[in-house]
Amino acid sequence: MTPLLDIIKSRRSIREYLLRKVSKRILFRILEAARWAPSAHNAQPWRFIIIRKGDLKRKLAKAMASEWVKDLARNGISLKTHKGLVKSFIERFTKAPVLIIACVTM
């Protein structure tokens, strides 16, 4: 197996975060890595929004959750199930020390 494939296969999704601040230096390194992602015609149409404020993270999480509930209902997920999913999503989203929202401009 190639080293890149090894890396891809060993990646994981983080669901709990340390309660410590992410330094600007680390944040800029993450954004620099993201900036190098390939794009058609080298257009690099992405923009990144950094959110650190707890009230803003919660407001965004609730707005996203209300749309997600509609998707869950269309997929036949029971109300009891999606209440638990949404609650854990909002908690996870708001407990993250920083959010990086990737956007695309056309």
Query: CA-based Rg of the chain, rounded to a whole angstrom?
Result: 17
Q: What percent of the chain has pLDDT over 90?
A: 40
11-34 pLDDT tens trace = 888 888 888 899 999 999 999 999
- What are the angstrom distances between the C-alpha of 67 and each of 6, 46, 97? 35, 23, 23
- Contact in structure between 27 and 49 (CB atoms under 8 Å): no
pLDDT at 1: 59
Task: Kindly report which listed range (26-30, 58-62, 84-88, 96-100) carries the lowest average pLDDT score.
Answer: 84-88
- Domain locations in the chain as residue ranges: 42-106
49 vs 103: CA distance, rounded Å: 8
Q: Where are the beta strands (DSSP E) in the chain?
A: 46-51, 99-104
* pLDDT for res 3: 84
Residue 19's alpha-carbon distances to 22, 85, 97, in angstroms, are: 9, 22, 7
Residue 61 has pLDDT above 90, yes or no: yes
